Amino acid sequence: MIDKTQISPAPLVDPFGRKITYLRLSVTDRCDLRCNYCMSEKMTFLPKSDLLDVSELDTVASAFIARGVRKIRITGGEPLVRRNIIEIMQRISNHLGDGLDELTLTTNGTQLEKHAADLVKVGVRRVNVSLDTLNPESFSRITRGGRLNQVLDGIAAAQSHGLKVKLNVVVLKYENLEELPFIVRWAHKRDIDVTLIEAMPMGEIEADRFDQYTPLSDVQRNFRKLWTMSRDSFQTGGPSDYWRVKETGGRLGFITPMSNNFCGGCNRVRLTCTGRLVLCLGQTDDADLRAVLRGGGDIHAALEEAIARKPKSHDFLIDAPGQKPAISRHMSMTGG
Ligand code: SAM
Ligand code: SF4
């Protein structure tokens, strides 16, 4: 009998001993919203021929899974606006139970009503929906024209098809700070976990990031005046630090890339929709996997070479008005 452990390629381990088990795969840079912390109002999108096609995405995902990646999160831009998104996810889902433990997605929720049933069919069990406010006017302002009801209908459809929903909320000093307890109560009442995220200085936008960023330590301090919070051992493989709110019974996560660097436990890399392997969200170094794929190169050798360059940590900083973004790539390009 063949001993599989002898023939499977070695896991990807970076120079700091961190095993890469989680891939965030961006399938498009396009989006039907224009969130004012993520994009500039007039974004130029890439020609479709620049994007990895279905079989290229499948090849890269398969290579990562062969090298020890257990979780893949599909993202973008807005992943559900990519025309053949379900086919892409169907291909990757063939690895579920055979190396891959979880296939999931981050979405703005606008197209969830249309796609929820198909997502379940391709093995998705949990989705992260990004929603920063429950106020229709604020929502329209933050997203530059989005309709809140479309997202709420999407969330309801996802839940009615049995998908576990988590809300991702970017905390914005002048937009949703006051509303956060309401959002948490609203979500927990519907069995939806919430994760709060600090705004990061990625890409040129019209607003000053200094006017958006709030350290989540301040938010947590305020929550403790309202609620009894205890640590929760829940782990998703992501960077969130989870708490349980006694009064609501729900789970609350904090992602603090700015105020509390969590890079020591980093297990992730990101692939942009054009096939650039981003080794750290907060650093510029990357590897062009599309060139390897289209040039007939060795994808495994390329992965090893890239992971050997994974930086130790990011060094994001927002500590004064008028600062240039730390990273010129927008989050919609990198894949959040
Ligand atoms: N369109 C999808 C969505 O909104 O969920 C997926 C892509 S979006 C880039 C992924 C996540 O990144 C979202 O939760 C979004 O709020 C977050 N994000 C975008 N720009 C950010 C920034 N500058 N700082 C922190 N989070 C950001
Ligand atoms: Fe689009 Fe998501 Fe960026 Fe908002 S955060 S503009 S929904 S990609």
What's the pLDDT score for residue 112? 98
Minimum mean pLDDT range among 70-84, 174-188, 230-244:
230-244
pLDDT band of residue 240 (cuts 50, 70, 90) is: confident
* Token pair recorded at residue 199: 């705004």
What's the pLDDT score for residue 316? 63
Q: Indicate if ligand 2 lies below 6 Å from the C-beta of 113.
A: no
Taking CA atoms only, the protein residue closest to ligand 1 atom 26 is 199
Do the strands 251-255 and 22-26 form a parallel or antiparallel pair, or are they unpaired?
Answer: unpaired
CA of 269 to the centre of ligand 2 (A): 19
pLDDT in tens, 303-324: 999 999 998 877 666 666 666 6
Taking CA atoms only, the protein residue closest to ligand 1 atom 13 is 130
Taking CA atoms only, the protein residue closest to ligand 2 atom 4 is 35
Q: Return the higher-pLDDT residue of 110 and 334.
A: 110
Which CATH number characterizes residue 56's domain? Answer: 3.20.20.70
Whether residue 55 lies inside any domain: the answer is: yes
pLDDT in tens, 246-301: 999 999 999 887 776 667 788 899 999 999 999 887 777 899 999 999 999 999 99
What's the pLDDT score for residue 2? 44
Helix (H) or strand (E) holding 221: helix 216-226
Whether residue 1 lies inside any domain: the answer is: no
Residue 189 domain boundaries = 6-334
Task: Name the residue of 40, 106, 324 whose CB sits within 8 Å of the most ligand 1 atoms, as the mutation to test its pocket.
Answer: 106
- 129 contacts: CB under 8 Å, gap ≥ 6: 106, 107, 108, 109, 112, 151, 154, 155, 158, 165, 166, 167, 168
- Total number of domains in the chain: 1
- 49 contacts: CB under 8 Å, gap ≥ 6: none
Q: Return the higher-pLDDT residue of 159 and 199.
A: 159
Share of the chain above pLDDT 90, in %: 70
Q: Indicate if ligand 1 lies below 6 Å from the C-beta of 78.
A: yes
Whether residue 253 lies inside any domain: the answer is: yes
What's the pLDDT score for residue 238? 66
Whether residue 268 lies inside any domain: the answer is: yes
On average, the pLDDT of the chain sits at 90
Q: Indicate if ligand 2 lies below 6 Å from the C-beta of 130.
A: yes
pLDDT in tens, 85-104: 999 999 999 999 999 999 99
Q: Indicate if ligand 1 lies below 6 Å from the C-beta of 272.
A: no
